[in-house]
Chain A
Amino acid sequence: MQDAAVKDRKDEGTRAALAPVPALDVSHVSHSYGSVDVLHDVSFRVDAGKFCALLGLNGAGKSTLFALVTRLFDRREGDIRVFGFDVRHQSSQALRRMGVVFQSRTLDPDLTVMQNLYYHASLHGLSRREARELGAGELARAHLADKKDALVRNLSGGQQRRVEIVRALLHRPQLILLDEPTVGLDVEARRLILSMVRDLAAERGVGILWATHLIDEVRGEDDVVVLHKGLVLANGTASSIVAKQRAAGLLPAFESLIGQKAAEGLAS
């Protein structure tokens, strides 16, 4: 009898250990600035190896959500976990597993590309040698090998964005958060960055949360979270959302969800 109980407990432990853990699990998160509600009961998850688009207009709450996930400040309510680690109480464990590309540029323009990488590496406890080796490999993949000694301020907007992605990858995170990384870039630079990030999910199994208001960046098989005025309006694959809304595409589906007809700006 006692043996059976022990075996049950062991099985339960094994099942728990084998339960899939999402790369990012946002659960019932609400946040406000004073009396202004910015996020209300937001829940979704990003699985490892999946590309998840966080779709929303400007002011939807995407940047606030990023700030909460990266613990720039704490949420008022709810739970955010990165590979099971609570961002508030196990922030070090969580932050070690994520790389972030913020909406505003965060490279030091007065330093070279490699110096920026060294600095970031040190903030994750990596040595110079590791930063040099890992950085060289990532820069080559981002077609920036010849720019390693260039001052950041002399790079184009698209190149700076790619350096930021390289930097976010330096400590080998399994979750990458990108907040509107292609805004203000030309079509070619956008294509290059998008393809680079999609490869990360496909080839390395990295979970991607890609915040955007540009619908043409989303594919049918991508996971999509539609965020509007702090509320999640839809969550599923892009094609399932389109089917559910009985729309001709993601843009009409999005329009129908937010009840707004003038969303032409989303397509470009």
Chain B
Amino acid sequence: MTTAIFHAGSLPSTRRLTLTAYLRCLYGIVWREILRFLHQRGRFLSALVRPLVWLFIFAAGFRATLGVSIIPPYDTYVLYEVYITPGLCAMIQLFNGMQSSLSMVYDREIGTMRTLLTSPFPRAYLLAAKLIAGVSVSIVQVYAFLAIAYFWDIEPPHIGYLAVLPALILSGFMFGALGLLLSSLIKQLENFAGVMNFVIFPMFFASSALYPLWRVREASITLNDICLFNPFTHATELIRFALYTQMNWEAAGIVLACTTVFFVLAAISYNPSRGLMSRRVQG
């Protein structure tokens, strides 16, 4: 029998958390998220079908009734399908953020979340890695959607496909951070339906995704104010401008600020000493 006696001067050695170790941790979390995504083919299909239905059916039907005047970043009249494409990109990311939130709640219910939270890496880093994983998946979905949309005559400048990437990263982080925050607030998987009703739909509809704000303002000043307050509007505009190789600094600033606020609140929620996790009764 081994009798191991450790002294303060000779503690069992462990692996140091070097930069390489941090990168391995990030890689592992992203890899698992992508693997889960690939296993859930239905998730990929629904992520694509949802915006395509809006594009092929809703936008085609409303093309005749909803004219869009020349507004930045467009320098000519555009088809309604062209107008709503950036909003649909944002919608994909919003759904993905909520899907990540659902995945976190699911992980908590089946217990795999505990594996993540008992890692020796700082908890904020683990959450950030989880966020990066979710954003990576959402960007793949957006590009798949844009590729299909291209054949539906949604043809932004070729360089726009590259220019939109930083915007997608930023907006993806914002929706992912919002999802993280919500995951700390949702106690059970069953409550996720409430998120659909109270977060996704209001955010999408009360924004500039479907109608330009000048049209919303014509209908209701209050609704216009709500749209301006809605971070989804600014994510949509950031993507819209970037897709046409222009920068919307105001939208970028607001999206960045919202990302920071959502992430800090999520990190606090997951903090073992201050967050909601500490108040949750365990078995």
Contact = CB atoms under 8 A, between A and B. Distances in A.
Interface of A: 16-21, 23, 33-34, 36, 47-49, 63-64, 67, 70-74, 83-84, 88, 91-93, 95-97, 100, 102-111, 115, 118-127, 171-172, 174, 202-206
A32 to B, nearest CB: 10
A122 B28 CA distance: 5
A125 B17 contact: yes
Contacts, number: 164
Contacts of B120: 91-93, 95-96, 124-125
B44 to A, nearest CB: 15
Contact of A21 (B7, B27, B32, B114): B7
Contacts of B283: 63, 103
B111 A104 contact: yes
Given A19-B8, A33-B279, A106-B114, A127 B272 contact: no
Given A48-B4, A106-B115, A174-B4, A72 B272 contact: yes
B278 A83 contact: no
A256 B98 CA distance: 52
B20 interface: yes
Contact of A49 (B4, B15, B273): B4
Given A74-B272, A108-B36, A120-B115, 7 more contacts: A20-B7, A49-B3, A96-B17, A106-B111, A108-B112, A110-B36, A119-B115
A33 B281 contact: yes
A21 B6 contact: yes
Interface residues of B, number: 52
Contact of A100 (B14, B15, B22, B118): B118
By Cβ-Cβ distance, the 9 closest A-B pairs, closest first, are: A122-B28, A125-B21, A205-B4, A17-B9, A73-B278, A106-B111, A123-B119, A74-B273, A95-B120
Query: DSSP majority for the A interface?
Result: loop
B2 A203 contact: yes
A11 to B, nearest CB: 13
Contacts of B280: 73
B122 interface: yes
Contacts of B158: none
Nearest to A121: B28
A124 B119 contact: yes
A125 B18 contact: yes
Contact of B6 (A48, A109, A123): A48
Contacts of A123: 25, 28-29, 115-116, 119, 121, 126
B12 interface: yes
B9 A96 contact: no
Interface of B: 1-12, 14-15, 17-18, 20-22, 24-25, 27-29, 31-32, 35-36, 39, 110-112, 114-122, 126, 272-273, 275, 277-283
23 contacts: A17-B9, A19-B7, A20-B5, A21-B6, A48-B5, A49-B1, A73-B275, A84-B8, A92-B122, A96-B14, A97-B11, A104-B110, A109-B110, A123-B115, A123-B119, A123-B121, A125-B24, A125-B120, A127-B24, A171-B14, A174-B4, A203-B2, A204-B2
B14 to A, nearest CB: 4
Contacts of B18: 125
Contacts of B277: 72-73
A71 B2 contact: no
A72 B4 contact: no
B32 A73 contact: no
B11 A21 contact: yes
B106 to A, nearest CB: 10
A47 B25 CA distance: 30
Contact of A202 (B2, B22, B27): B2
A253 to B, nearest CB: 25
B278 A74 contact: yes
A172 B1 CA distance: 19
B111 A21 contact: no
A17 B118 contact: no
Nearest to B273: A74
Contacts of B6: 20-21, 23, 48, 83, 174
A64 B281 CA distance: 9
A73 B272 contact: yes
B22 A125 contact: yes
Candidate in B17, B22, B32 with the most chain A CB atoms within 10 angstroms: B32
B7 A17 contact: yes
Contacts of A97: 11-12, 14
